[in-house]
Amino acid sequence: MRYRKLGDSDIEVSEISLGSWLTYGEGVERDQTEACTRAAFDAGVNLFDTSNAYGRGTAEQAWGEILSDFERASYVLATKVFFPMTETDRGLSREQIHKQLDASLDRLQTDYVDLYQCHRPDPETPIEETMEALTEVCEAGKVREIGFSEWTLEQIEAGLEVAGAKRWVSSQPQYNMIWRAPEAELIPYCAEHGISQIVWSPLGQGVLTGKYEPGGDPPSDSRAASDAMGWAMDRYMADEVLEAVQRLRPIAEDAGLSMVTMALAWVLREQNVASAIVGASRPEQVHANAEASGVELPADVLEAIDEALADVTVTEPKLAGFVAEGVKHR
């Protein structure tokens, strides 16, 4: 496993990280969660990414129990805040950041998180209030560094401009061989301002593994076949996308790579990407994902990938789901 620096911080993260969206505490049983987590440590993974919203706290709780068996300094723990936890608890106000962080720390059974991320922007709250609250929890020793997920450039810049506030070190966008939207504006801007990407869905919700055939039923043990885990896959399950992905098979075979390794290595070719967050329901998937670390794709392979996916790639900036544009100031 290779490691990369997280933005301008002194934190180093594994190129492959383990995420818990739609899986741990919800779609994947406790014993599988523990097996995957232990496999991650065995494979050299040190970054574990979750959110208070995943399973309304159940993902954090599952990892709190499991990670308590490991030395706290041996891993980098990241969680998030924004989405509703109750009918009245949501957003990025000072009150919510303090309240939700304390609840997350309690579920995670730790005194601090290494990275606290604003899961989406909150233009209903003054950006100054949000940044000041994030700075307060860092100064209290509860958070080491801060990041955001799926903010617009206007919102990112507004956060950087708050005087005396803690600075962003990470961005968490969707990014993969099909969804290339961050390349247009986000990645260049972040590279200029000392902010790294830790990307979600680098395998396109598993579609880039090639296991989903056009017109066919998904494998019974796959994410797409699960009501709990498959609801967010619609954009990737179109036949034209699945057909394009099948064109990647011979490219991977000729390069002597698995589809998984090729897809993850493609994401990691971008130096502004510090880590690719991958979910897993079985330990062997964790080890297969980890094999992509350090793999460099030659130019002819990158060109072949571009040609195979030319009709289905998303290259222009796009708003993610649940993102409201704009910035509120005091």
* Number of residues that this document lists for the chain: 330
Q: Among all residues, which ones are annotated catalytic?
A: 54
Pairing of strands 143-148, 113-118: parallel
Measured CA to CA, the distance from residue 265 to residue 261 in angstroms comes to 6
Q: Provide the H-helix boundaries in the chain.
A: 30-43, 58-67, 94-108, 127-139, 153-160, 186-192, 239-246, 249-254, 259-268, 283-290, 299-309
pLDDT in tens, the chain (330 residues): 999 999 999 999 999 999 998 667 777 888 899 999 999 999 999 999 999 999 999 999 999 999 999 999 999 999 999 999 999 999 999 999 999 999 999 999 999 999 999 999 999 999 999 999 999 999 999 999 999 999 999 999 999 999 999 999 999 999 999 999 999 999 999 999 999 999 999 999 999 999 898 866 655 554 444 454 444 556 788 999 999 999 999 999 999 999 999 999 999 999 999 999 999 989 999 999 999 999 999 999 999 999 999 999 999 999 999 999 999 999
pLDDT of residue 198: 98
pLDDT of residue 217: 61
Q: Which CATH architecture has domain 3-7+14-309?
A: Alpha-Beta Barrel (3.20)
pLDDT of residue 263: 98
pTM as predicted? 0.93
pLDDT of residue 115: 98
Q: Is 112 exposed, middle or buried (0-12, 13-18, 19+ CB in 10 A)?
A: middle
Helical (H) or strand (E) element with 168:
strand 168-171
Contact by Cβ (8 Å): 105, 141? no
Contact by Cβ (8 Å): 39, 48? no
Supply angle C-alpha 269, 274, 183, rounded to 5.
Answer: 55
Q: Is 300 exposed, middle or buried (0-12, 13-18, 19+ CB in 10 A)?
A: exposed
Tally of CB atoms within 10 A around 173: 23
Cβ-proximal residues to 46 (8 Å cutoff; 6+ apart), any chain = 3, 12, 13, 14, 17, 74, 75, 76
pLDDT of residue 97: 98
Q: Which residue has the tokens 């034209």?
A: 240
